[in-house]
Amino acid sequence: MSIYADLILDHYQYPRNNTLVKGATSKVDLDNPLCGDKIHMEIREKDGVIQEIGFTGEGCAISIASASMLTEYAKGKTKKELLEISTGDVLGLLNIELTPNRMKCALLSWEGLRKLLI
């Protein structure tokens, strides 16, 4: 079974929230030197709620799709809710089975989100 399901490919080729955020309250840059994935994430938070979230960067299909899906999920949620997201939840969003080497790609945006919130 290929991990490149239609949903993943769709989010990779047409990533959601693939933009900078106006009036961002927090920004972060992350990279995975192993494969050269680079991601920049921004949020605008008000009263503990994520009003806007966006990302830019380059990477493999898994890292981009996961950033797209996670930002889509995060919008409108509270900080508290988002800090409770586990790595398992992210993999659940992607709905694919990953080998250990690809986990880092999938979890790069999750790591970014946590850094933005803490």
Partner 1 sequence: MIDTKQIRKDFPIFKNHPSLTYLDSAATSLKPKSVISKITEYYEHYSANIHRGIYHLSEKASEEYEGTRSVVASYINAPSQSEIIFTRNATEGINLIASTIGVTNVSEGDEIVTTVMEHHANFVPWQQLAFDVGADFKVIDIDENGSLPLKVSGHNSKSKTLVEISDIISKKTKILAIGLVSNTLGTINPVKAIIAAAKKINPQILSVVDAAQAVPHMKIDVQDLGCDFLVFSSHKMLGPTGVGVLWGRHEILKQMPPYQYGGDMIRSVALSDTTFADSPHRFEAGTPNIAGVIGLKEAIAYLENVGLESIRKHEHALTKYAMEKLTETFKECITIFGPADPDKRAGLVSFQIKGVHPHDIAQILDEHDIAVRAGHHCTMPLHTRLDVAATTRVSFYIYNDAQDIDKLIDGLKIATKTFSKKS
Residues 36-75 that bind partner 1 (CB under 8 A): 36-38, 58-62
The terminus-to-terminus CA distance of the chain in angstroms comes to: 37
Q: Which is nearer to partner 1, 37 or 45 (CB)?
A: 37
Give CA–CA dist 31/53, Å, rounded.
Answer: 18
Shortest Å, Cβ 79 to partner 1? 32
Q: Which is nearer to partner 1, 12 or 110 (CB)?
A: 12
Query: Residue 59, Cβ neighbours under 10 Å: how many?
Result: 21
Give CA–CA dist 12/26, Å, rounded.
Answer: 24
Residues within the interface to partner 1 (CB under 8 A): 2-4, 9-10, 12-13, 33-38, 58-62, 102, 105
